[in-house]
Structure 1
Amino acid sequence: MYSRRQFLKTGTTAAAISILPCNLLHASIATLASGSTGSLDGAQSQRLSNGWEYLEGTMGGPWEVWHSKETAVWQSITMPHCFNAYDACDPDRPYYQGNGWYRTHVSIANPYKTGRTLLHFEGAGQTAAVYIGEKLVGKHVGGYDEFVVDITDLAATSSDIPLAVLCDNSRDLNRIPSDLSDFSLYGGLYRHVNLVYVPAVSLETVHVRSELAAPGSPAKISVLGWLYNPTDSNDPLEVTIEVVDAKGTSLYHSQEKIAPWKDAKELTNFTVKTPELWSPSSPHLYQCNITVGGQGGSYVAKETFGIRHTEFVEHGPFKLNGERLLLRGTHRHEDHAGYAAAMPDDLIDQEMQLMKDMGVNFIRLAHYQQSRRVLSNCDRLGILVWEEVPWCRGGVGNDVFKDMTRDKLRTMIAQHYNHPSILLWGLGNEDDWPTEYPEVNQQEIRALFQELNSLAHELDPSRFTTIRRCDFARDITDVYSPSIWAGWYRGEYTEYQKTLETERERVNHFFHAEWGADSHARRHSEDPDKVLAKITTGTGTDERGMDYLMTGGQSRVSKDGDWSETYACNLFDWYLKTQETLPWLTGSAQWIFKDFTTPLRIENPVPRINQKGVIERDMTKKESYFVFQSYWSDAPMVHLYGHSWPIRWGDEGELKMVKVYSNCDSAELFVNGKSVGVKHRNSQDFPAAGLRWMTPFVHGKNNLKVIATKGKVTVKDEIEFDYQTEKWGPPAKLALSEIGRKTIDGKELITVEGRVYDANGVLCLNARNLVHFSLAGDGTLIDNCGTSTGSRVVQMYNGRAQISLNSTGNVTIGISSQGVETVFYNPNMTKK
């Protein structure tokens, strides 16, 4: 049994910051919210999704929450809910940071006579105060970890209790992550809220520890339990443990009667002689079922776990289960069009499946602890994880700041310990960044990193630690990732390999997190690499200072490039072909899988959106998704570049490049029905791994078709586009037309497209005008989605821009751009 001192070191009972008067459970409560719901001898849980109301703004206090009919209008909502779901990418004003109140009534029906009634919050941004009636029962600081409030005593007084929660994402120097972070610090109850019933004595936390000395050896398994026994009951408990494999076959069973314990206790240990190992190609999961029975009833805990062996070779590759595995990764923020951080479960599942289908076997969760559902998907799909404490761009603040940083590391490890997908505990990100504090104090930053590194290894000796971009602290953690942005913030992408080789020698275990390029979806280029003629090489490829800005400093692609999908695909293509050739490389993680909001990038083509994703914020795939798939996926695939490129341009008879991204051995291209030859894939033949053709197009409509083969499997792709040979002058006039209409729930969904022409009426295919859509009448724009077709302010892509609207009557939409006359369109005038 662990001592009280050892137990506190694990942090599994560490109190939440500013905890008030009830105790907040701070541990891995997966079983509390997902235990047996079919009988009275298991944990009972109810998801509190409906019956909520929301109010944005301050209140006089909790009394006013329940007596505010004259002073406030509450909005009916469902959970989860983020109060920045609409405004986080508003092009005209910063997103709301302040108070958001939630209220509901909860019916209490605890099936256990002496049981405990708990409120389980899976995440609330960025601080949360919980009230029963007017009584404050708990306060939690931190937007990303779980917490539980025990409301047993108050719930006993009534079967219907008034519950209110105040969420606050106001700026706070003593809270992590920093408000200077390059992402929105969302507010609200944006993960599930659960009502949970447990017996008088239950399990707060279960950790299943697996030790595999070497691949092929037996696995040693130990099960640790932390008891939740707030009344200090001394009644004996019967503890039953059963472990089953993925097929449900029982591997181990034990049963014993023991007295209640304090702190952490090893409940059992056993050996699996021939374990089935967890890996991306075979993500085998075991399940440990623990039943704790006493006079107050039985509690069933169900935790999945995996068995695997990991190794980072010094100055060499990463090995999983004894074999080299190139980590092929990406990044994820919890963010989505129309929901912000409050993503529904099905969309989380869809997003994670899209990653797996792209060939991802690794993900860095940026830059904070993420939803339990994300981690469960990684376990199930076979995606290794770098999960990170939210110390992002914060420097080092006061003691409150430091305590919170330690606390979030403790809770992250406590709550996600059992996930076999987790490989790395991230201790911070870009903490060399100029911050709100007077200086970047390297000594203090190093000291906190050293403390966190020691703490992480105490809490979890089985996993590695890591940080990204803090060069003066690169020697502290097990694995380090420097800043390398060859071809975007500095240098050219052809400098990538040289930078990798240089950085490899500076640390024992090297990994490359964050690389890529912004791309404005639907924007394409006939000459994407033209900008490279302006770029200085040989002076480094890291991001420095304010490189992300569109002004100042030396020439860089991020500032002077065209932000086309075409350039991004070339950069990705070069990086991926390079990574394939380096047997010592552990791996990398491209930044980022999906576009997301940021308050720092108001000048981007979609304002306040970081556009480095391979999919848009609504999960529309960009062309670059298929570049990665062509290198990383196993299932045969083929993709013609240009599905969102309706008009190409050039001279009559000019040879134009057609690129095909595929993992197949060979491909044959047909142009307007005629074969132009077969090409064989060679990953080192840049671009497109040799699957490219130079061919003329005819003026007007053109058809491209490709047939690719991999073994005995044949796959096909086809696109059509116009080819424009007319030359254009400066943009001179706008036009607006309807391109789609359908009726949904009694409303007409109308999509319009704006185009810009020169004085002679020729479409300006390289135009990047910033346009504003406006609407008057009986309808609403579908905007603030953070996508290329869902923003009322957006840069054009090849002289075009689209948006949709819901119409319930007579409506007029306008499009304007500086220096060009505004035009209007009335859909009712053309309605058939």
Structure 2
Amino acid sequence: MLKRNLLLILLILCSPLLHAQSSKRLIQNWEYLKGDLGGIWEAVRPVKEGNPESLPIWEKVNLPHCFNAHDAVDPDVNYYQGPGWYRILLDVNNPYAKGRTLLHFEGAGQKTKVYLYTTKVVEHTGGYDEWTADLTEAVEAFKKRPEFQTQFKGKVPLVIRCDNSRDLEMIPSNLSDFNVYGGLYRYVNLVYTPALSVDKLFAHAEVDAKGENGKLDIKARLYNPDQIASAMVKISVKNPSGKVVYNFNKQLNTFKSDSLLSNIQVKSPKLWSPDVPQLYTVNLSITANGETVKKEEKIGFRNFEFVKKGPFMLNGKRLLLRGTHRHEDHADVAAAMTEDMIRTEIRMMKEMGVNFIRLGHYQQSRIVLNLCDSLGILVWEEIPWCRGGLGGQIYQDQAKRMLTHMVEQHYNHPSIIIWGMGNENDWPGDFPEFDQQKIRTFMKELNDLSHQLDPSRKTAIRRCDFCKDIVDVYSPSIWAGWYRGNYTEYKAVSEEEFNKVDHFLHVEWGGDSHARRHSENPDNALSKIKIGGGADERAGDASLYGGAARVSKDGDWSESYISNLIDWHLKEQEKMPWLSGAAYWPFKDFSTPVRPENPVPYVNQKGVIERDFTKKEAFYVFQSYWTTQPMAHIYGHSWPVRWGEEGEEKMVKVYSNCDEAELFVNGKSYGVKKRNSQNFPAAGLRWQVPMVKGKYTFKVVAKKGKTTVTDQIEQEYQSDKWSKPTKFVLQKAGEQDGIATLEVKAFDSKGVLCLDAMNLVEFSLTGDGSLIQDQGTSTGSRKVQLYNGRAIIRVKTNGGKSVASVKSAGLPTAFVNL
């Protein structure tokens, strides 16, 4: 297990927050230049203050920072792929005699070169694994140069070149349904260590299914470039309550790679699970030549099993994996999510009821894994061998290196149960040759390497049928009710696929929804769909044009339809005793270069929340099945106007995990309904309400045991018929803290609001203000499809005057003064 050669100069450290030694996140005082330089000298040559001929001009930024924070969702351009430069002046003062000065990258995209003044220290390929540059010798050499005191006034110039240029001999493929981002989009840390330090601490915890007999093996890989001969090692282990349950001291006189330091028997350990994620703490300290380095790791004891032809077991009991997916992507920052943003996102997943997450499609920040450990979320993490086929030796070496790094860097996390070998590896396009046998051969190599590095976890892939026999767990492509088929086929199709493999897990299901778009007849497109023709995704199915009828092309992309699709899947999953679990794709909308014509251009809109954390209605459908904290949610919080015939009965749905609920319409009770998960839709919590033109207040009172929860919305009902849109009305809907909200509505020639209008509109602004755009959200895009005949965008007024406009093909442009 974890066999590696001798110590590496380019070590990969654990999270800097866990180091007892000096570590600092380098967040402020960076400068950035988009594009390339003629050479490293251009980044460090003397520049006179205020000289207009001093080019190029650098931009001041903070880290994390992504090249593509806005252009990834700019509706009019392809996102930038190329080089970008960063520079900073550092105070470097290592407190340790003969200590090492290290620059630790938590991830940088996609190829990175590190310079100290004009000296190249190291370069790294791969945008998602952690890595470290040892600056020690370069710093010492630079401090002897006159420029150290003159030009740089006692500071050290650090320059970093990142490059996300297209490269067929690099993973992931640019055919992937996500952006291959560039920049220092994860944290960079300046770390000081003694001459002898810890590269990695491997703590392998295991326990039997009954939870009676635990075992903990502790190994370490030291970083020892000066070849120090001896050191004192101390290990302590604390239980989840903070009590020390083990102490160990050992004198080391030889440093073997990944030396076994301790083997501990733990009687009846406190178990880790999604409900009670109990974590032990392993502390390691090593003292040599009077200097001590410390490292801390959190671990958990849990026993898991994918039963052959059966469900998933955790700690001896069946656990239905209720999952979703995560891309590292967010409005206004793209991949450069701060720790606070990441924490918010993972906590929202837990709030929704998730106990499992697949990290798509690359190694993600250690911050994510730490949160999954502490909150109780099981994890499938994978390398970015995604689409395109199989490249040559450079390509394959990178894949193996990234797999090794992922396993070693995240080895101790109890949340991880699966290492993913790839995704959609049956998707050709990057190379003239697409040889299934060669792909199988390489998949076997990756599978063997993963088991060699870590025999305790399973391997998996998604959607590559000709490799499904190689890995431990397989997920086929099942998109019932979206790319193919009807969602009512979900259980039958899943059981058919389940019977083809020993260990089945369904990851990726769902469909797109344009936030704030709702429908009175959401399942209309299903009447066009061929039943029995399969429920997988095939070449061209993601296109909005051509091919067989499918909801992804012919549906209305409403939140109403997706809520029904999710509702059906979840009710079925409750009655599939052989199912190990399923994971909805994805949790949050994310940017993608291959979907320019979506309602929000360049955004995959399958999330249950928008790219800025705004919840869609689907979030509450999941909560109603997956959570225990009493909740109730009336469908339609973002649906201001419903429509139909005068006096027509309309369904009002409540998503709740409560035993019963009572609906009140304008203060009048419409009766109490009992919840039954198999009573579709809304688990029986639905009422038929006759509606006439006017305003309505809907309130629900739901009870679970002695707990009562309520929810309330207001809607208007429109019975006037409309024809095609003939004009827009653009108005200022409100203003707060210097942010004005603009809303456009489409009307027909008689002035009736066109509630099914889906026109693509484009907002513009001239004057003192600025549009809040390129957010990749339904209210933060200057080009966006209408949702029920309206669309919203926001404006920073900047305390001045502006004129806003909105236009669409075939309609007069509308204006409003701000």
Among candidates 556, 559, 562, match of residue 562 of structure 1? 556
**Residue pair 1:699, 1:725 contacting (<8 A) in 2 also:** yes
Structure 1 portions without partners, runs of 5+? 16-22, 37-42, 828-832
1:813 aligns with 2:791: no
Tell me the alpha carbon deviations over residues 697-719 of structure 1, each in whole angstroms, 9 at most, x when there is no partner. Answer: 23121000000000110000000
Q: Secondary structure at the match of 1:153?
A: helix
Among candidates 61, 74, 87, match of residue 90 of structure 1? 74
**Residue pair 1:428, 1:468 contacting (<8 A) in 2 also:** yes
Among candidates 752, 765, 780, match of residue 762 of structure 1? 752
**Residue pair 1:705, 1:717 contacting (<8 A) in 2 also:** yes
Distance 1:68 1:504, change over 3 A: farther
Counterpart of 1:20 in structure 2 is: none
Counterpart of 2:108 in structure 1 is: 124
The amino acid of 2:44's aligned partner reads W
What is the RMSD computed on CA atoms of the aligned residues? 1.2
1:49 aligns with 2:46: no
Structure 1 stretches of 4+ with a deviation exceeding 3 A read none
Counterpart of 1:75 in structure 2 is: 59
1:135 aligns with 2:119: yes
1:457 aligns with 2:451: yes
**Residue pair 1:33, 1:194 contacting (<8 A) in 2 also:** no
- Determine the C-alpha separation between the residues in 1 that align with 2:165 and 2:114: 17
**Residue pair 2:648, 2:692 contacting (<8 A) in 1 also:** no
**Residue pair 1:767, 1:796 contacting (<8 A) in 2 also:** yes
CA displacement at 1:7 relative to structure 2: 2.5
Tell me the alpha carbon deviations over residues 435-466 of structure 1, each in whole angstroms, 9 at most, x when there is no partner. Answer: 21124310011011100101000000100000
**Residue pair 1:782, 1:790 contacting (<8 A) in 2 also:** yes
Counterpart of 1:798 in structure 2 is: 788
Among candidates 1, 4, 7, match of residue 7 of structure 1? 4
Counterpart of 1:39 in structure 2 is: none
- Determine the C-alpha separation between the residues in 1 that align with 2:261 and 2:425: 40
- Determine the C-alpha separation between the residues in 1 that align with 2:17 and 2:613: 29
CA displacement at 1:32 relative to structure 2: 4.9
- Determine the C-alpha separation between the residues in 2 that align with 1:175 and 1:163: 26
CA displacement at 1:161 relative to structure 2: 1.0
The amino acid of 2:352's aligned partner reads M
The amino acid of 2:601's aligned partner reads P
1:62 aligns with 2:57: no
**Residue pair 2:209, 2:304 contacting (<8 A) in 1 also:** no
Tell me the alpha carbon deviations over residues 670-720 of structure 1, each in whole angstroms, 9 at most, x when there is no partner. Answer: 011100110000000000000000011231210000000001100000000
Q: Secondary structure at the match of 1:472?
A: helix
Counterpart of 1:348 in structure 2 is: 342
CA displacement at 1:586 relative to structure 2: 0.1
CA displacement at 1:740 relative to structure 2: 1.2
- Determine the C-alpha separation between the residues in 2 that align with 1:90 and 1:529: 32
Among candidates 185, 208, 216, match of residue 213 of structure 1? 208
CA displacement at 1:232 relative to structure 2: 1.1
- Determine the C-alpha separation between the residues in 1 that align with 2:289 and 2:352: 52
- Determine the C-alpha separation between the residues in 2 that align with 1:371 and 1:620: 23
The amino acid of 1:161's aligned partner reads V
Counterpart of 1:367 in structure 2 is: 361
1:714 aligns with 2:708: yes
For 1:135-154, list aligned pairs within 5 A: 135-154=119-138
The amino acid of 1:823's aligned partner reads A
Among candidates 172, 175, 181, match of residue 180 of structure 1? 175
The amino acid of 2:198's aligned partner reads L
- Determine the C-alpha separation between the residues in 2 that align with 1:32 and 1:153: 21
**Residue pair 2:329, 2:591 contacting (<8 A) in 1 also:** yes
1:704 aligns with 2:704: no
CA displacement at 1:156 relative to structure 2: 2.3
**Residue pair 2:66, 2:182 contacting (<8 A) in 1 also:** yes
Counterpart of 1:232 in structure 2 is: 227
For 1:156-555, list aligned pairs within 5 A: 156-157=140-141, 158=143, 160-234=155-229, 236-295=230-289, 297-555=291-549
Tell me the alpha carbon deviations over residues 142-201 of structure 1, each in whole angstroms, 9 at most, x when there is no partner. Answer: 000000011111222435210000000010001100000000011100010000011100
- Determine the C-alpha separation between the residues in 2 that align with 1:439 and 1:91: 33
**Residue pair 2:16, 2:189 contacting (<8 A) in 1 also:** no
CA displacement at 1:129 relative to structure 2: 0.4
**Residue pair 1:433, 1:440 contacting (<8 A) in 2 also:** no
Tell me the alpha carbon deviations over residues 539-574 of structure 1, each in whole angstroms, 9 at most, x when there is no partner. Answer: 110000010010111000000000000000000000
**TM-score normalised to structure 2 length:** 0.97
CA displacement at 1:135 relative to structure 2: 0.7
1:825 aligns with 2:809: no
Q: Secondary structure at the match of 1:510?
A: coil
**Residue pair 2:528, 2:549 contacting (<8 A) in 1 also:** yes
Counterpart of 1:583 in structure 2 is: 577
Counterpart of 2:727 in structure 1 is: 733
- Determine the C-alpha separation between the residues in 2 that align with 1:139 and 1:165: 10
Counterpart of 1:775 in structure 2 is: 765
The amino acid of 2:182's aligned partner reads G
CA displacement at 1:515 relative to structure 2: 0.2
**Residue pair 2:514, 2:558 contacting (<8 A) in 1 also:** yes
CA displacement at 1:397 relative to structure 2: 0.4
Structure 2 portions without partners, runs of 5+? 48-53, 144-153
The amino acid of 1:473's aligned partner reads C
Tell me the alpha carbon deviations over residues 64-97 of structure 1, each in whole angstroms, 9 at most, x when there is no partner. Answer: 1123852211111111111111111000011111
- Determine the C-alpha separation between the residues in 1 that align with 2:739 and 2:440: 55
- Determine the C-alpha separation between the residues in 2 that align with 1:684 and 1:645: 26
Among candidates 712, 722, 743, match of residue 753 of structure 1? 743
Tell me the alpha carbon deviations over residues 704-754 of structure 1, each in whole angstroms, 9 at most, x when there is no partner. Answer: 0000000110000000011001000011001100111022xxxx2111000
The amino acid of 2:603's aligned partner reads I
CA displacement at 1:260 relative to structure 2: 4.0
**Residue pair 1:200, 1:296 contacting (<8 A) in 2 also:** no
Counterpart of 2:151 in structure 1 is: none
Distance 1:81 1:31, change over 3 A: closer
CA displacement at 1:652 relative to structure 2: 1.0
CA displacement at 1:34 relative to structure 2: 2.7
- Determine the C-alpha separation between the residues in 2 that align with 1:619 and 1:216: 38
- Determine the C-alpha separation between the residues in 2 that align with 1:33 and 1:100: 28
Greater shift in the superposed pair: 575-584 or 214-223: 214-223
CA displacement at 1:779 relative to structure 2: 1.3
- Determine the C-alpha separation between the residues in 2 that align with 1:490 and 1:258: 62
Counterpart of 2:51 in structure 1 is: none
- Determine the C-alpha separation between the residues in 1 that align with 2:488 and 2:521: 17
Counterpart of 1:643 in structure 2 is: 637
The count of residues paired between Structure 1 and Structure 2 equals: 800
- Determine the C-alpha separation between the residues in 1 that align with 2:119 and 2:734: 53
Q: Secondary structure at the match of 1:79?
A: coil
**Residue pair 1:389, 1:427 contacting (<8 A) in 2 also:** yes
The amino acid of 1:543's aligned partner reads E
**Residue pair 1:31, 1:302 contacting (<8 A) in 2 also:** no
The amino acid of 1:55's aligned partner reads L
Distance 1:773 1:498, change over 3 A: same
**Residue pair 1:637, 1:662 contacting (<8 A) in 2 also:** yes
Among candidates 613, 619, 623, match of residue 619 of structure 1? 613
**Residue pair 2:211, 2:271 contacting (<8 A) in 1 also:** no
Greater shift in the superposed pair: 796-805 or 105-114: 105-114
**Residue pair 2:207, 2:302 contacting (<8 A) in 1 also:** yes
The amino acid of 1:45's aligned partner reads S
Distance 1:203 1:32, change over 3 A: farther
CA displacement at 1:216 relative to structure 2: 2.8
CA displacement at 1:346 relative to structure 2: 0.8
